[in-house]
Amino acid sequence: MAKFPPDAYAQLKAYFSEVAPVSDADFEAIKPRFLPVYFQKNQFLLRQGEICSSIYFVVKGSFRIFHVNQEGIELTRYFAFENKFGTNLTSMIEGTESVENLQAIEPLYVFEVKKAAFFELVETSPQVNKIYRNILQNAYITSQRRIYDLQGMTALDRLKWLLGQYPLILSRIPSRLVASYLGVTPYTLSRLKNGL
């Protein structure tokens, strides 16, 4: 197994400090629920059709959340980078089969929190409750922006939007996956990038 970053728990505590400050004692009580896990590049955290039983906090690396439609086309919805949470919320909350895949894009170090442990923390820890509300708010805002900001935009306008909103995606993510996020072919994306 790859060596987990030694400062990972300090990174998690720093995240808590920004979003929902936590005392050292409270953090020590929460910490055992955050299990360090490593995924190799391209390894799946969750496959379409499985029931999602965990939420992940990215320590190092990135993963994507995507759906494969009936024509076999991959449609990427979200990229999770360092200090972000990611999961399939619908599957995790409802206990239903996931319509999405979670896949490591790079070697990936995450803290995994199992569903039961996470929701117990949501009920017992004001800090985790605040983080959960933050996750829900961000998920809603992100989905609304994607729907309304991208609706009716040309492919070039979508690329410009991505450059303005999420430049990290273009610098770290392979073009094929960026294309699936923007809803264009890799060829079209290459042509658009050359035209900028």
Do residues 152 and 46 touch, judged by C-beta distance below 8 A?
Answer: no
Beta-bridge mates of residue 60? 109
Using DSSP, state whether 2 is helix, strand or coil.
coil
Q: What is the spatial order of strands in the sheet that 63-68 belongs to? A: 44-46, 101-104, 63-68, 74-80
136-161 pLDDT, tens digit each = 998 898 888 877 777 788 999 999 98
Separation CA 39–CA 96 (nearest Å) = 24
Q: Is the pTM of this model over 0.85?
A: yes
106-136 pLDDT, tens digit each = 999 999 999 999 999 999 999 999 999 999 9
User: What pLDDT is stored for residue 1 in this prediction?
Assistant: 57
Per domain, the residue ranges of the chain are 8-125
Domain 8-125 CATH superfamily: Jelly Rolls (2.60.120.10)
Tokens of 29: 């009580």
Using DSSP, state whether 108 is helix, strand or coil.
strand
Q: Residues 150-177: what's their mean pLDDT?
A: 91
Ramachandran area for residue 183 (φ above 0: left; ψ -120 to 50: alpha; else beta) = left
